[in-house]
Amino acid sequence: MIRIEDVSITLGENEVLDGVSASIDEGRFVGLVGPNGAGKTTLLRATNGVLSPDSGRVVVDDDAIADLSSKAASRRVATVPQDTSLSFDFDVRNVVAMGRNPYRTRFGSEIGAKPAGSDGFGGERGTDVVERAMDRTEVSAFADRSITEVSGGERQRVLLARALAQDTPVLLLDEPTASLDINHQVRTFELVRELVADGKTVVAAIHDLNLAAHYCDELLLLADGSVLADGTPTEVLAEETLREAFDTRAVVSRHPVTGSTYVTALPERTAGTDGNGDREDDGSGRVHVIGGGGTVSRLLYLLSAAGHEVSVGVLNEGDSDLETARHLGLETVAEEPFAPIGPEARTAVERRIREADVTVLADVEIGTGNVANLDAAAEAESVVVVEERPFEDRNYAGSEAAVRYRSLRERGTVVSPDDLLSAVADAV
Ligand SMILES: Nc1ncnc2c1ncn2[C@@H]1O[C@H](COP(=O)(O)OP(=O)(O)OP(=O)(O)O)[C@@H](O)[C@H]1O
């Protein structure tokens, strides 16, 4: 349906696209992803025929789009631009009805495949299409208001309605959800999925990699004017590829709820380990964290972002902290759900603790379930104890766990969560 054949485009002094090729089948939703300035908008503008490539061509339904008249091109490809500012004072219904222009004669009635009509919106069919487009994008409620008097997000939906009214087999969207609230983001993408199910081919530039991964059939990753990767979201969103494209550290996992490929960008490490995991002399080190029950996610993130090589456990499967740790790409020691710590997990956690420069007890629950963890922690080279609540407040009553906790606490450094990073930095 769309073939992008070796397209190169120079704008001013910039070689913006350099030999881009891609093939997009009918009825697919393809996400165009990549860093700012990669050339996504430019590629969309070459695909709708607004820009003619310096070399190469874009073929839509067997015709080079640049060779078609602008009306003919507009009957094949509709576009929702990134910049949705409109200065003229038309009401919303009229703006949406402009989508019918490619089907109108000079006298305002519809031409070509669409039945002609005589009303101001380009015929009966045109009116139906306009009303349906407004319904689907939920703009009917303010159809009579001026386009200059709607919010940025509403305007974005009006322009989507205009593109739907254009009734084309191909729809191009440039950052379609950039100004939308979370509810309308999801509704817009669900609508796009419906359109795709009806047979439309959609290409959308999308900055949010997780939305792109969740909704798109395929991704095309552009970087510096070239295709760096294309394929399914899982194929494209690989950690190494993301680093190359975006120059940032990211962890790729599966979203625990949706099952989609999920990217978590991490701040650049302020410190790091070398390729062998050995400590560099930069304040980073190996840190093992004991704690769970949903209380340590933030600490895991902070330690990881600070450049430490972090492991965590033993945690039971199903613990949300375990999910977080996996999202962050940390080493984990896990046990079956609700099961006591068995010999295998015990051996694994002891090894992690022995290898660690610091073991952090992160607001550990002082109960029977943690006795094995606390025993393992006795092997630690150095201990930092994070306490959100003062130890004295807890009802530990001299239990087995409390005896172990107290002794670790006595040999370690006790800090509040806010002071964890500096305590760990002192200890490594
Ligand atoms: N008319 C122009 N003249 C010169 N350079 C241009 C022109 N239009 C765009 N560029 C440059 O081309 C490059 C690609 O721009 P484009 O808008 O296609 O990127 P993009 O991937 O859509 O970026 P973003 O994610 O920021 O929207 C940028 O470096 C931009 O500055």
Percent of the chain whose predicted confidence (pLDDT) is above 90:
55
Ligand 1 centre to CA of 16 (Å) is 7
Residue 269 predicted with pLDDT over 60 = no
Atom of ligand 1 nearest to the CA of 14: 5
Q: 47 CB under 6 A from ligand 1?
A: no
Nearest residue (CA) to ligand 1, atom 26: 36
- Report the DSSP beta bridge partners of residue 205: 32, 174
Residue 85 predicted with pLDDT over 80 = no
Q: 40 CB under 6 A from ligand 1?
A: yes
Burial class (CB in 10 A: 0-12, 13-18, 19+), 290: buried
Q: 83 CB under 6 A from ligand 1?
A: no
Question: Measured in Å, how far apart are the chain's first and last C-alpha atoms?
Answer: 58
Atom of ligand 1 nearest to the CA of 39: 18
Q: In whole angstroms, what is the distance from residue 49 CA to residue 384 CA?
A: 62
Q: 171 CB under 6 A from ligand 1?
A: no
Q: For position 428, what pLDDT does the model report?
A: 87
Residue 414 predicted with pLDDT over 80 = yes
Q: In whole angstroms, what is the distance from residue 174 CA to residue 192 CA?
A: 13
Residue 216 predicted with pLDDT over 60 = yes
Q: For position 400, what pLDDT does the model report?
A: 84
Dihedral pair phi/psi, residue 401, rounded to 5°: -65, -40
Ligand 1 centre to CA of 19 (Å) is 16
Lowest-confidence range among 53-67, 271-285, 286-300?
Answer: 271-285
Tokens of 397: 């009553």
Residue 52 predicted with pLDDT over 90 = yes
Nearest residue (CA) to ligand 1, atom 1: 11
Nearest residue (CA) to ligand 1, atom 10: 11
Q: In whole angstroms, what is the distance from residue 351 CA to residue 212 CA?
A: 40
Q: 12 CB under 6 A from ligand 1?
A: yes
Nearest residue (CA) to ligand 1, atom 18: 39
Residue 150 predicted with pLDDT over 80 = yes
H, E, C per residue of 239-305: HHHHHHHHCCEEEEEECCCCCCEEEEEECCCCCCECCCCCECCCCCCEEEEECCCCCCHHHHHHHHH
- 362 near 296, Cβ under 8 Å? yes
Lowest-confidence range among 57-61, 139-143, 260-264, 408-412?
Answer: 260-264
Confidence of residue 272 (pLDDT cuts 50, 70, 90): very low
Q: For position 427, what pLDDT does the model report?
A: 86
Nearest residue (CA) to ligand 1, atom 17: 41
Q: In whole angstroms, what is the distance from residue 41 CA to residue 25 CA?
A: 20
Residue 168 predicted with pLDDT over 50 = yes
Confidence of residue 402 (pLDDT cuts 50, 70, 90): confident
Closest CA to 217 of 195, 246, 242, 249: 195
Q: For position 275, what pLDDT does the model report?
A: 45
Burial class (CB in 10 A: 0-12, 13-18, 19+), 212: buried
Q: For position 254, what pLDDT does the model report?
A: 75
Confidence of residue 114 (pLDDT cuts 50, 70, 90): very low
Atom of ligand 1 nearest to the CA of 38: 21
Residue 27 predicted with pLDDT over 60 = yes
Count of residues in the chain:
428
Q: For position 401, what pLDDT does the model report?
A: 84
- For residues 17 and 305, which has the higher predicted lDDT (pLDDT)? 17
If you average pLDDT over residues 161-172, what whole number do you get? 96
Q: For position 180, what pLDDT does the model report?
A: 84
Residue 389 predicted with pLDDT over 80 = no
Ligand 1 centre to CA of 253 (Å) is 31
Confidence of residue 354 (pLDDT cuts 50, 70, 90): very high
Ligand 1 centre to CA of 247 (Å) is 18
Closest CA to 266 of 234, 308, 233: 308
Q: Residue 255 contacts by C-beta under 8 Å, 6 or more apart in sequence?
A: 210, 214, 261, 262
Residue 106 predicted with pLDDT over 90 = no
Strands (DSSP E) contained in 25-182 are 29-33, 55-60, 63-64, 77-80, 170-174
What mean pLDDT value characterizes the chain?
87
pLDDT by residue (tens digit) across 181-202?
Answer: 888 899 899 999 999 999 999 9
- 325 near 299, Cβ under 8 Å? no
Q: Residue 76 contacts by C-beta under 8 Å, 6 or more apart in sequence?
A: 60, 61, 65, 68, 168, 169, 170
Residue 274 predicted with pLDDT over 60 = no
Residue type, 390: P
Q: 36 CB under 6 A from ligand 1?
A: yes
Burial class (CB in 10 A: 0-12, 13-18, 19+), 368: exposed
Closest CA to 299 of 358, 341, 248, 244: 358
Q: 296 CB under 6 A from ligand 1?
A: no
Ligand 1 centre to CA of 17 (Å) is 10
Question: CA distances (Å), 418 to each of 39, 91, 395, in order?
Answer: 42, 53, 24
Atom of ligand 1 nearest to the CA of 45: 18
Element (H, E) at 202: strand 201-205
Report the complex ipTM.
Answer: 0.97
> What residue ranges define each of the domains in the chain, with the CATH number in brackets?
2-264 (3.40.50.300), 286-427 (3.40.50.720)
To test the pocket of ligand 1, the residue of 42, 43, 172, 228 to mutate (highest count of ligand atoms within 8 Å of its CB) is 42
Nearest residue (CA) to ligand 1, atom 28: 37
Nearest residue (CA) to ligand 1, atom 25: 36
Q: Output the CA angle 240-186-102, nearest 5 degrees.
A: 100
pLDDT by residue (tens digit) across 284-308?
Answer: 899 999 987 777 888 888 888 888 9
* Three-state SS at 24: strand
Burial class (CB in 10 A: 0-12, 13-18, 19+), 272: middle
